[in-house]
């Protein structure tokens, strides 16, 4: 299994009262498929996974287990939790529902104190779904857990039989480049604003939130890069950065869900402690964003 191309880190849909809205998932899946997305990464950071109950995550797994195959989408379920026993249950659930792979963040309240402890945590969860590819989700800016990813691959490969690779949401391009050269592991890039930098050093896939609402822009960027047109690729990368900055200025997750609503995918508000921008803020954002991005 390889997460090549654009992988959308999907939002979790809520009703206006904040309750889960799994019935929206088929609409999400259709929207993404129409925009050339082949794989999704669910209940991760963009999906507000740590703000969902275990049962809600189970419900999202079930919804995507049905909607994913219907739209030819590979589904990777994030199962990470500060409680590793919960993570194991979610991993087993993902396997039972026939999802394609699992991933996990490091525990971030009681943090692993060294690389060996991190690998032990990952092995503990990966073993609950031994037939599913397992990705470690490295995002130190949110977890506060920061170890060498080349060293992780060198040691973890022997201890996690189903290790597929790393979701590399870490701006250390030197480590990323090294990981790409280590065996056959899959190392999808995780920072949308720097996808061009990752492509230049050999990235084959990227997981990101803005691919939900701006996939056509990134497809053009990748095509320009592959054609050797770096001027166009750089211009499109800067356009993507400007778009992300405009959304992030008023609260990224809540605003991004509203951008999706403008495209015909009603995802509802963000869940506390993440805030949803005010109507006035959203109106100002809409005026900043180029109209083609807002078309359903």
Cα–Cα distance for residue pair 155/83, rounded to 1 Å = 23
Nearest Cα to 70, choosing from 112, 117, 33? 33
Cα–Cα distance for residue pair 76/47, rounded to 1 Å = 12
Cα–Cα distance for residue pair 119/102, rounded to 1 Å = 15
Cα–Cα distance for residue pair 59/70, rounded to 1 Å = 17
Beta strands 205-208 and 39-42, pairing class: unpaired
Specify the residue for token string 């590979």: 74
Helix (H) or strand (E) holding 260: helix 252-262
Helix (H) or strand (E) holding 169: none
Spatial contact of 29 and 74, defined as CB atoms under 8 Å apart: no
- Which residues, in sequence order, are bridge partners of residue 8? 40, 208
Cα–Cα distance for residue pair 211/198, rounded to 1 Å = 16
Specify the residue for token string 């590819």: 133
Beta strands 5-9 and 39-42, pairing class: parallel
The residues annotated with a catalytic role in the active site are 137, 167
Spatial contact of 80 and 106, defined as CB atoms under 8 Å apart: yes
Tokens of 138: 């490295």
Spatial contact of 78 and 41, defined as CB atoms under 8 Å apart: yes
């Amino acid at each position: 299994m390889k997460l090549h191309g654009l992988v959308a880190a999907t939002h979790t849909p809520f009703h206006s009262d904040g309750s889960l809205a799994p019935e929206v998932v088929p609409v999400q899946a259709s929207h993404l498929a129409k925009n050339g997305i082949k794989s999704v990464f669910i209940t991760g950071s963009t999906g507000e996974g740590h703000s969902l109950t275990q049962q809600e995550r189970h419900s999202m797994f079930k919804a995507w287990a049905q909607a994913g195959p219907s739209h030819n989408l590979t589904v990777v379920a994030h199962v990470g939790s500060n409680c590793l026993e919960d993570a194991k249950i979610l991993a087993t659930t993902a396997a039972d529902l026939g999802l394609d792979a699992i991933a996990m963040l490091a525990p971030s309240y009681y943090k692993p104190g060294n690389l060996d402890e991190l690998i032990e945590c990952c092995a503990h969860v990966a073993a609950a779904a031994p037939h599913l590819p397992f990705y470690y989700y490295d995002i130190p800016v949110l977890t506060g857990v920061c170890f060498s990813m080349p060293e992780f691959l060198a040691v973890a490969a022997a201890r996690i039989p189903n290790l597929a690779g790393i979701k590399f949401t870490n701006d250390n391009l030197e480590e990323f480049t090294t990981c790409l050269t280590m065996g056959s592991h899959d190392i999808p890039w995780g920072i949308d604003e720097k996808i061009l930098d990752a492509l230049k050093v050999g990235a084959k896939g990227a997981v990101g939130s803005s691919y939900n609402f701006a996939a056509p822009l990134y497809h053009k960027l990748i095509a320009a890069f592959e054609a050797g047109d770096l001027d166009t690729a750089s211009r499109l990368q800067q356009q993507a950065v400007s778009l992300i900055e405009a959304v992030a200025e008023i609260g990224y997750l809540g605003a991004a869900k509203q951008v999706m609503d403008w495209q015909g995918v009603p995802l509802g508000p963000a869940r506390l402690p993440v805030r949803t921008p005010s109507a006035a803020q959203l109106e100002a954002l809409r005026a900043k964003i180029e109209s083609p991005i807002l078309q359903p």
